[in-house]
Structure 1
């Protein structure tokens, strides 16, 4: 079979790992993910690494924070007065909740809860981390036409 080229539709398995080795995504226990190269469906660095590979081959891509989920931005950790929040339950540190930030709904992590305020973190939970992706080409699908 011919190797992967731009425009191919692939079936891929991903293993995503944090710097401490913790796996936070592993598609091997389920169906592979279908992506078409050149359609902005996956990180461009993944596409670049997959070109020339053949089914069964695996590549490892290490993304620094700025190429993965962004740098951790301290200004995205804010304390909000409880009276400004509309919550249907008592928030718990570590929980994801939906709040409005500058007029837009946003999923944030609860950092701290006091009687009068809630501290939230609007960074992506993986912001600031270098992430390692192990990507296996499960198959190259035939082109339509």
Structure 2
């Protein structure tokens, strides 16, 4: 079979790993993802790494924070007065809740709770981390026509 080229539709499995080796995503136990190269469905760096590969091959791509989930920004850790929040339950540290941060509706992580205030983190939980992806090519699907 010919190697992968731009425009090919592929079946892929992904394993995503944090710097400490923790796997937080692994599609190998389910159906592979179907992606078409050049259709903006996956990170362009993944596409670049896949060009020229063949079914059965695995490529490893390490993305620095700015190419993965963004740099960790301290300004996205904010303390909000409870009176400004309209929560329907008592928040718990580690829980995700929806609030407005810097004028935007965000899903945030609760960091601290007291009687008057709640401190939240609007960074993505993986912000600031270099993420390593192992991408295995299961199949190149036939082109139509």
Query: What is aligned with 2:19?
Result: 19
The 5 A counterparts of 1:93-112 are 93-112=93-112
In the alignment of these two chains, the number of paired residues is: 145
The TM-score normalised by the length of structure 2 is: 0.97
- What is the deviation of 1:103? 4.0
Deviation of 1:139 after TM superposition, in Å, equals 0.6
Is the partner of 1:100 in helix, strand or coil? strand
Name the SS for the 1:34 alignment partner.
strand
| Long gaps (5+) in structure 1 | none
Structure 2: gaps of 5 or more residues: none
Matches within 5 A, 1:51-90: 51-90=51-90
Give the Å deviation of 1:143. Answer: 1.1
- Could you tell me how far apart the structure 2 residues matched to 1:102 and 1:19 are? 30
Name the CA distance, whole Å, in 2 between partners of 1:60 and 1:90.
Answer: 42
TM-score using structure 1 length: 0.97
- SS of match in other structure, 1:46: helix
Counterpart of 1:122?
122
Shift of 1:68: 0.7
Cα root mean square deviation, aligned: 0.9
Q: Which moved more, 1:101-110 or 1:31-40?
A: 101-110
Following superposition, the deviation at residue 106 of structure 1 comes to 1.1
